[in-house]
Structure 1
Amino acid sequence: MSAVNYPDQTRFALRDGVTCSTTPVGTVQLNPPHNQQLTDLTAGQLQALKTLNRGPATVSEMAAVAGGDDVAALMDRLADGGLLSVTVRNSGRDLYTIRPFGQPAPRPATSLPWSATLSKFAVLHRDSEGFVLEHPRAWCDLRIHDPRLLALLDGLGAADANLPIAVKSQFAEDLHWCGFLVPDADAEDREFTTRSWSTPDLWFHRRSTLGERTVTQKHFGSTKWAKGQFPQPDARKTRYPGEPVTLTVPDLAAKRSDDPTLTAVLEDRVSTRAFDDARPITVDQLAELLYRTARTRGTHPAGEGEELVSRPYPSGGSVYELELYPVVRHVAGLAPGMYHYDSFDHVLRPVAASDSPTVTKLLKSPSATLVEGSEPQVLLVLAARCGRVMWAYEQVAYANILKHVGILMQTIYLAATAMGLGACAQDFGDTAAFAAATDVDELEECSVGSMIIGSPAPQ
């Protein structure tokens, strides 16, 4: 990037998190995530850098204190290292700011046509500072200060009498340089690698992992950001009011000696898609499966206002946000309907009646994966009380929830195999039907997985 190619009103600043200090020998130590040193600076360049360290400045302002020394060369060094943010202005008004978080790309050798369009992976959203345009594979974010520029995102040839052609051209060039534009609307569908990724999948992948955008754990991982601002959501979900169904407790001491070996259940585990309705799963078998895989073994405090949980499967931070909802069609000894498994009391609490339209929808959707389109004897819905995880974790919270879903699914698979039951994990679910059945705000608790459970058909 060349600073001199921007309008004179353009203001430059050290990117967020970067400061500089001068050593006794005149070397400038820059402190981004990875320290860098600038050597061989002239006295005028040092003065210009000190001006920049105090806040945003134009090239003219830095040149005024540089005594004729080459400020543009200094700016190019900083920009090439991804250390400068750039705020483009017109008529005394901020238009947009390029905020790097990684190594800038070289300026494109050729310009894109006016028919160029935004990449399908580009996302425009609002935050506390206004509009920001982001891309999971870009090296920077582009913050839009002037809402007139929003119209240009729908096509760089969009007419706007209030924006000079020079502004539109500069904006287009920067969108291209920052990696937000593609030559045409079909460009990303012609390559398998870009067509195969959906926008939310790629965003989820990049936002829940470390990389150029996130290089420290300041706002990443288990930061407990909400502590002191919001109470931690209770470890125990509020009880459903219906009369609970008492469940038997299996003899785990006997299971330790009588169960098949871990190797046996790992090797014998299969996804069952045919079930025996003439010999359905019993309520005692369902009780044993729930007890062995998902009961709450205990809780313990972890600092003021925090409560951790212990269950048979591992969970990040021991917060255990997952809840199980058996949706019952055919279980010997148990009335059909939707229940919540109260893992603290080891009981089933009624949630919705069997003739409820939402229960019907929940049982119907898995039939696509079963032999002859049959409905499951039991659909075990895995739900997440997301606040338990999101209270402590930043950026990786939902990723952790999905990891926990996989862990619990495998735990259920192995226990079911040891018990001679059939199980089949689902790669989809009706989240809207779950929300309607439970009458709970989806932002508080949502369906994140499901498994079919029952007695397998004879081989």
Structure 2
Amino acid sequence: MSQEFVLSFKKDISLIEQPEGDRIILQSSDCKLTFKQVTSGLRTALNTLTTNKATAQQLIDLVQQRDGIHAKLKFYYHLQKLSALGWLCYSVVIDDLLLASAIPLTCDYQFSHKNVDVECKYALSRFAYCHQVEEQIVLESPLSYAKVVVSNWRGAALIAKLAKPQHFRDLTVEISGITEEIAQKFVALLLNTQMVFEVAKNASVEHTTNITLAQWEFHDLLFHTRSRKGRHTNLAGGTYRFLGQIETLPAVKSKMSAETIDLYKPNLETLKALDPSFTSVLEERKSIRDYNKIPITAQQLGEFLYRSARVRTLMKIEPTEISSRPYPAGGAIYELELYVVVNICEGISPGLYHYAPDMHQLCWLSGRNEHTEELLQGAIRGVGSDDELQVLIVIAARFQRLAWKYESIAYATILKHVGVLYQTMYLVATAMELAPCAVGYGDSDLFAQAVGTDYYAETSVGEFILGSKDSNYR
């Protein structure tokens, strides 16, 4: 057990004393420890971890002074148990002021107790990031099972210095009040929480030479770890965190225009009889970027949207309204919106339209303009097509529609919904012998400007190209 750091309980650990039977209960949200026949030294040490801060050696000495050598050994075991449960915070203190604290994020967090090599340089991990939480600076990393709360301006200054490889002794320069001992402890705290890494003699950092980590971008790994369980204790799932505070968005967005086009509605019973088999559609599905000289028609576009994305039913199930559509969605919330950029379509004028899935209509937003041209050109670049695009379908998300219910996983769920909608569109287009192709990326700022939406309330999350299939295509 390292004796360098000041120890304390996490804030969510409660201590309950039961005078009857000399018991003390330590309890977190998911675990409880009961200490029986509690001695004076153990009682004082546990209370010290709750109300004050002390090093492991100070706590062990306190127990030994009051209860004897055997109690000291037993308390050492208790400290190991508390550490294994992820209940202990590790802090660096300077002049009785807290500099920084490592706080476990999971119940199985293990502080590794690595020592700083006095001959080596250390640098901040490229995955580490600072942000403000409840008026405190917090350093986190998707590599770590702990967060570091920086409680003093000197801690922030030390982190800034570690952007470049440093010997811990170098950290004493330019930052007042930082001794070599404090600098070494601070680097050790960050090292044991994977916020810094040892820099090799060739100036490479450990996780840049690790071929697995090298292929992770910062934002991808952070998004992955924070939208999955395992490396955080944030609330996740359907928490309804804004219930009673903010009104939920309606299941269907209001019409964006009074100028509408009623779309063709196919007879589903006829389609069931005439469509190719499901296996045939699955096997023949592919991205097609070559188009027939005769463009897609308004009837084909109407059938495609009807089969892919219409509202089948609307239902009021407290505390919100939900719907049923041809593709699946978490909680039947359906936050995705479809916008159709028509370049060439027989029966529909070029321009930008919003699809009203409940009425199965296209609502006119604008004619061909600079924004629609840029959207089309961006899609062409995204798929590398030489042919002139016929129809671009932009998939947007009303983010708050989903975030109102789901916490931690809202955006990850939106992207999953884009995926299942892509697949539904591919299968419908294949069954209709059209040419479908999903686009790998798009410009969300450009889309928000084209449609006139608030980027943070609704913007694009996917693009899909549709056209008539070249009869010579195999």
- Amino acid in structure 1 at the alignment position of 2:82: L
Q: What's the CA shift string for 1:195-237, capped at 9, x where partnerless?
A: 10011111111111111423xxx71101111101111112222
Q: 1:46 deviation in Å?
A: 3.2
Corresponding position: 1:280 with 2:295:
yes
Q: 1:29 deviation in Å?
A: 5.4
Q: Distance in 1 between matches of 2:430 and 2:65?
A: 79
Among 200, 206, 225, the residue aligned to 2:225: 206
Among 129, 138, 142, the residue aligned to 1:136: 142
Aligned equivalent of 1:337? 351
Among 3, 10, 23, the residue aligned to 1:15: 10
Instruction: Indicate conservation of the 8 Å contact 1:319/1:388, yes or no.
Output: yes
Q: Distance in 2 between matches of 1:77 and 1:264?
A: 59
Assess, with a 3 A threshold, how the Cα gap between structure 1 residues 375 and 26 changes in structure 2: closer, same or farther.
Answer: farther
Instruction: Indicate conservation of the 8 Å contact 2:396/2:458, yes or no.
Output: yes
127-136 or 19-28, which deviates more: 19-28
Aligned equivalent of 1:257? 273
Aligned equivalent of 1:444? 457
Aligned equivalent of 2:54? 58
Structure 2 length as normaliser, TM-score?
A: 0.87
Q: Secondary structure at the match of 1:367?
A: helix
Instruction: Indicate conservation of the 8 Å contact 2:9/2:50, yes or no.
Output: no
Q: Distance in 1 between matches of 2:118 and 2:309?
A: 56
Q: Secondary structure at the match of 2:460?
A: strand
Q: Secondary structure at the match of 2:66?
A: coil
Structure 2: runs of 5 or more not aligned:
163-169
Instruction: Indicate conservation of the 8 Å contact 1:381/1:450, yes or no.
Output: yes
Among 373, 376, 392, the residue aligned to 2:386: 373
Instruction: Indicate conservation of the 8 Å contact 1:222/1:393, yes or no.
Output: yes
Identity among equivalent positions (%) equals: 32
Instruction: Indicate conservation of the 8 Å contact 2:26/2:32, yes or no.
Output: yes
Q: Pairwise mapping of residues 418-433 of structure 1 onto structure 2 (< 5 A)?
A: 418-433=431-446
Q: Distance in 2 between matches of 1:210 and 1:372?
A: 40
Q: Pairwise mapping of residues 26-425 of structure 1 onto structure 2 (< 5 A)?
A: 30-32=26-28, 35=31, 37=33, 43-52=39-48, 54-58=50-54, 68-69=66-67, 70=72, 74-100=78-104, 101=106, 102-111=108-117, 115-156=121-162, 157-158=170-171, 159-184=174-199, 186-187=204-205, 188-214=207-233, 219-276=235-292, 278-304=293-319, 306-354=320-368, 356-368=369-381, 370=383, 373-425=386-438
Q: 1:79 deviation in Å?
A: 2.8
Q: 1:258 deviation in Å?
A: 1.4
Aligned equivalent of 1:454? 467
Instruction: Indicate conservation of the 8 Å contact 1:327/1:338, yes or no.
Output: yes
Q: Distance in 2 between matches of 1:288 and 1:447?
A: 23
Q: 1:57 deviation in Å?
A: 3.8
Q: What's the CA shift string for 1:245-290, capped at 9, x where partnerless?
A: 22121111211211112111111111111112x2110011101111
Assess, with a 3 A threshold, how the Cα gap between structure 1 residues 74 and 350 changes in structure 2: closer, same or farther.
Answer: same
152-161 or 194-203, which deviates more: 152-161
Q: Distance in 2 between matches of 1:320 and 1:80?
A: 42
CA RMSD of the aligned region, Å? 2.6
